Amino acid sequence: MATTAYSTALLGGARLAAVGGGAAAVPPSILLLRRRNGNLTPLRLQDAPRQSPLRVRASSDDTSAASGDELIADLKAKWDAVENKTIVITYAGGAIVALWLTSVIVGAINSVPLLPKIMELVGLGYTGWFVYRYLLFKEGRKELADDIESLKKRIAGTE
């Protein structure tokens, strides 16, 4: 006595039943059927086309190009207003070198086997101390707010 295996796949809202060794022999990772050359073939999950959740729509509004042009014009005006361009370029180059050097140092620290975990513990301890010192109690929060305002005034040069 031969047994007949039945399997059902959902495709576009319609149920399609397959009888026999066709779709029944397909592993359970098959979710959909796809049409190729007029025949329905199983579509495995890893073969399924990926769709991005991001939807892009074209529009005839040209505000982005205008804002980009305005941004460039604004940057040119600010650059022309700078009196000592050499110092600005030197500071920018120094900032880039400092960023690169910091990245190299962090990479070197991260390659030492035990040191990253110790640094995590130090960071966790400092975070706990900061919360206890400045955020947990009302007096500490007021002191922190005063320190931030004082720093703002020093940076702005109004103190």
pLDDT of residue 66: 64
Provide the pLDDT for residue 65.
Answer: 58
**pLDDT bucket at 67, cuts 50 / 70 / 90:** confident
What are 69-78's pLDDT values in tens digits? 888 999 899 9
Burial of 23 (0-12, 13-18, 19+ CB in 10 A): buried
30-55 per-position pLDDT tens digit: 456 667 777 777 666 555 556 667 67
| Residue ranges of domains in the chain | 69-111, 113-158
- The pTM (predicted TM-score) of the whole model is 0.37
- List Cβ neighbours of 23 (8 Å cut-off, separation of 6 or more): 7, 9, 30, 33, 42
Per the document, the length of the chain is 159
* Residue 140: exposure state from Cβ atoms within 10 A (0-12, 13-18, ≥19): middle
